[in-house]
């Protein structure tokens, strides 16, 4: 099965860290791009997230950040979590999104 790159805003708080950790724990996730306006230390993250994480410094909605994330994505699929959004992953949610995209041939899949 294909894998996915997840883009997550990271404010250095416990909520954004927990979200990044939850994505990193999924075998469907190839990498986690953490978007932050400031530098931060990855040392407090799990080894799994450290292996999958990349930090992109800049404004989440800037063209330069978007272009960098797209250019450097290591996987065929890209999942973007917008700032301020709450995400609760159901069982095999990422795998189902990938499957829906592969089966439909859609260029964009949306889930609320």
Per-residue pLDDT in tens (0 to 9) along the chain, 112 residues: 689 999 999 988 888 999 999 999 999 999 999 999 988 888 889 999 999 999 999 999 999 999 999 999 989 999 999 998 888 888 899 999 999 999 998 888 888 7
pLDDT computed for residue 40 by the predictor: 80
What was the pLDDT predicted at 22?
93
CA distance 83 to 9: 6
Predicted local distance difference test score (pLDDT) of residue 45: 93
Task: Tell whether pTM > 0.85.
Answer: yes
Helix, strand, coil percent content, the chain, rounded in steps of 5: 35, 20, 45
Please tell me the distance from the alpha carbon of residue 67 to that of residue 78, in angstroms, as a whole number. 13
Q: What is the pLDDT of residue 74?
A: 85
Residue 1's pLDDT is what? Answer: 67
| 7-21 per-residue burial string, b: 16 or more CB within 10 A, e: under 16 | bbbbbeeeebbebbe
The structure tokens listed for 23 are: 């994505």
């Amino acid at each position: 099965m294909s894998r996915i790159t997840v883009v997550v805003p990271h404010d250095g708080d416990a909520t954004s860290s927990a979200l990044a950790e939850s994505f990193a724990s999924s075998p469907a996730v190839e990498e986690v791009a953490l978007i932050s306006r400031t530098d931060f230390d990855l040392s407090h993250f799990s080894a799994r997230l450290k292996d999958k994480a990349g930090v992109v410094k800049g404004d989440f909605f800037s063209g330069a950040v978007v272009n960098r994330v797209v250019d450097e994505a290591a996987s065929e699929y890209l999942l973007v979590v917008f700032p301020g959004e709450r995400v609760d992953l159901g069982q095999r949610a990422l795998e189902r999104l990938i499957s829906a995209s592969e089966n439909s041939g859609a260029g964009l899949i949306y889930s609320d």
